[in-house]
Amino acid sequence: MLRRSFVSRALVLGFICAAAHVPSRARAADSFITVASTTSTEQSGLFSYLLPLFRTASGIDVRVVAVGTGQALAIGARGDADALLVHDRQGEDKFVAEGHGIDRCDVMYNDFVLIGPKSDPAGIRGEKDAKEALRKIAAAKAPFASRGDDSGTHRLEMRLWKAAGVDVAPAAAIWRRETGSGMGPTLNLAAGVDAYVLADRATWANFKNRQNLEILSDGDPGLLNRYGGILVNPATHPHVKAAEARRWHEWLTSEEGRKAIAGFRVNGEQVFFLETAPAH
């Protein structure tokens, strides 16, 4: 008797859970797509702002998985997303060339900024040449926080170091620390140890735990940050929702979608720009 009551209670609890689960599944629209994107687009609040507009226009729900660009491309290559919105042109072209994706299109851009402590020990404040700023940081052996996670930001940083002629092999650059994590955790670390850090403007605009950090160098054309949309190739991955994903791309590049992107603000600041808009 005792045992029966115990087991039946457990079962009843289980059924309550299962029942509670049903509405949450039914609530989601029948038609949805999964988009793998970057943490910057998600954390800036852009998707929270765009997706309801797209749902109204199309009736399609978009489920955003926000990860680094490297991981987003890997998710796409495994067929686990229907579309991508990422920022690493070389990686994107490779993804398309390998047959994983189709219809790559420019969606929007912003820029990267070099952030550091107000005291600026390397003296990069106002430096317009990003490579020169990095050389100064290396010369001063000032702490620099790197993503180290194969994200779009990390890939750009590595290209910049190479162009600047600085050897950042761990043995040669002990002042450079790889966090191996997202933009936010890396900014948190930089804020904690007064390190320099490369970040995209949208994530920075949203970041609250700034402590002594501020933007010290920006405006180098090499710091342009282009976001590209790609559809996962239905020929390679037959299960993808090709029609709905195409609808998403069409909307993003339509007059309505472009207006929506251009109208998005973070604390009154525009952080994503359209390709045809004049650079700031």
Partner 1 sequence: MDDIAQAFHFALKLILEGDRELFETVKLSIIVSLSASIIAFLIGAPAGAVLATQTFRARPAMLVSLNALLGLPSVVIGLFVYLLLSRSGPLGFLGFLFTPQAMILAQIILTLPIIAVMSYRATETYWADYRDTFVIFGASRLRAVATLISAARGALVTVFLAAFGRAIAEVGAIMMVGGNIRGFTRTMTTTIALQTSRGELALALGLGLVLMGLTLAISAAAFFLNRRMSDY
Phi, psi of 36 (to 5 degrees): -90, 125
- The residues, ordered by sequence, that sit 6+ positions from 23 with a Cβ below 8 Å of its Cβ are none
Per-residue contact flags (x/-) with partner 1 for residues 202 to 241, judged by CB under 8 A = ----xxxxx--------------------------x-x--
Residue 207 has φ and ψ, to the nearest 5°, of: -85, 130
Among 184, 219, 246, 253, binds partner 1 (CB under 8 A): 184
Class of residue 236 by CB neighbours under 10 A (exposed 0-12, middle 13-18, buried 19+): middle
Q: Is 140 in the site for partner 1 (CB under 8 A)?
A: no
How many residues interact with partner 1 (rule CB under 8 A)?
Answer: 43
Q: Does 273 bind partner 1 (CB under 8 A)?
A: no
Q: Which of residues 24 and 119 has its CB atom nearest to partner 1 in the complex?
A: 24
Q: Interacting stretch for partner 1, rule CB under 8 A, among 170-178, 180-188, 194-202, 254-262?
A: 180-188
The three-state secondary structure class of 217 is: strand
Least spacing, CB of residue 202 vs partner 1, in Å: 11
Whichever of 19 and 174 has its CB closer to partner 1, that residue is 19
**CA dihedral angle for residue 69, residue 73, residue 79, residue 83, rounded to 10 degrees:** 60
3-state DSSP assignment of residue 231: strand
| Paired residues of 266 in beta bridges | 269
Position 187 contacts partner 1 (CB under 8 A):
yes
To the nearest whole angstrom, how small is the minimum distance from the Cβ of residue 102 to partner 1?
17
Contacts (Cβ under 8 Å, ≥6 apart) of 111: 200, 201, 218, 219, 223, 224, 225
Q: Which is nearer to partner 1, 81 or 137 (CB)?
A: 81
> Which of 210, 265 has the CB closer to partner 1?
210
Residue 168 or 198 with smaller CB distance to partner 1: 198
Query: In residues, how long is the chain?
Result: 280
Q: CB nearer to partner 1: give 138 or 183.
A: 183
SS3 content of the chain, % helix, strand, coil (to 5): 45, 20, 30
The minimum distance between CB 241 and partner 1, in angstroms, equals: 11
CA distance 95 to 230: 9
Q: For 198, list phi and psi in degrees, rounded to 5.
A: -100, 125
Binding mask 45-84 for partner 1 (x = CB under 8 A): --xx--------------xxxx-----------xxx----
CB of 160 to partner 1, least distance (A): 23
d(CA 123, CA 2): 75
Q: Which residues on neighbouring strands pair with residue 84, listed in sequence order?
A: 36, 230
Q: Which residues bind partner 1 (CB under 8 A)?
A: 1-3, 5-6, 9-10, 13-14, 17-18, 20-21, 24-25, 28, 34, 39, 42-43, 47-48, 63-66, 78-80, 182-185, 187-188, 191, 206-210, 237, 239
